[in-house]
Amino acid sequence: MEPIIRVRNLQKAYGNLAVLSGVDLDVAPAETVSVIGPSGSGKSTLLRLLMTLERPDAGALEIDGESPWTMMRDGQSVAADERHLRRVRGKVGMVFQHFNLFPHMSALGNVTEAPVHVLGLSRAEAKSRAIEYLAMVGLEDKAEAYPAHLSGGQKQRVAIARALAMQPKIMLFDEITSALDPELVGGILELLRALAARRTMTMVIVTHHMAFAETSSDRVLFFDRGVILEQGSPAEIFRSPRHERTQRFVESILETVR
């Protein structure tokens, strides 16, 4: 099967700081991949490049068989126009650590906004779709609530519903439990696990929760200093890592949660 994400020798620097130093990655449709690794190793940068929020310095990136940044015209590869970029970007959704909901809109309003303004759905269609996705994240009874009246976990569920309502083929999650009170983390991980089990989307999940990565993903990537140092099945990464750095990282995280 053709990969839905294809990355070759992807490079990104900020000034003199090389953040991605040649990343290669294929992700299959409906695959769930967890990304682990030390702070500063480039995990968020990879996700921002996959979301096309930033441009790579070098290397190739394809989403569903297309480069977001170039397109074909008269048999030639030329710089993408805004319309091409928006179309490819529409295949990807992202949820961040900080949910950034519109404070002046209800949960329903937050989930309805982009399908109306970006996809051109009618208010009525967008509303019924939003109700469906709010139900999927367990918030059917909070549709009319404003963000100020929701817990951190509920706000993050709204943010997830908002991304899902755009019906992306690929969903990227960047440490989405990191800003939550500890007692709310389990419920969000449970939701991620349920979404992955549906097998309707490709999911790339940056997480510090090793037990989650081990039990809920098809494949685990260990990021270190701007490259994927090691990748494999959860059993390979957690039970028999090939690199000492992987082993040390996994052990250091396991110790902190005990």
Query: Which residues make up the interface to ligand ADP (CB under 6 A)?
Result: 14, 17, 19, 37, 39-45
Q: At closest approach, how far in Å is the CB of 94 from Mg ion?
A: 12
Q: Which one, 13 or 28, has the nearer CB to Mg ion?
A: 13
Instruction: List 170's β-bridge partners, or say none.
Output: 92, 202
Q: Which one, 240 or 252, has the nearer CB to ligand ADP?
A: 252
Q: Which one, 99 or 223, has the nearer CB to ligand ADP?
A: 223
Size of the site for Mg ion (CB under 5 A): 2
Helices then strands, each counted (H, E), the chain: 9, 11
Neighbours of 239 (CB within 10 A): 11
* Amino acid sitting at position 81: D
Give dist(CA 23, CA 5) in Å, integer: 12
Q: At closest approach, how far in Å is the CB of 140 from ligand ADP?
A: 33
Q: Which one, 45 or 110, has the nearer CB to ligand ADP?
A: 45
Residue number of the CB atom closest to Mg ion: 44
Q: Which does 234 bind (CB under 5 to 8 A by kind): ligand ADP, Mg ion, none?
A: none
Q: Which one, 45 or 154, has the nearer CB to ligand ADP?
A: 45
Query: Are residues 229 and 245 in contact, defined by beta-carbon separation less than 8 angstroms?
Result: yes
Figure out which of the listed residues 32, 34, 41, 44 binds Mg ion, where binding follows CB under 5 A: 44
- Of 245, 226, 256, whose CA–CA distance to 40 is shortest? 226
**Which pair of structure tokens corresponds to residue 53?**
């929020």
In the β-sheet with 170-174, what is the strand arrangement from edge to edge?
Answer: 92-95, 170-174, 202-206, 32-36, 219-224, 227-232
Q: At closest approach, how far in Å is the CB of 16 from ligand ADP?
A: 10
Q: Would you tell me which residues interact with Mg ion (CB under 5 A)?
A: 43-44
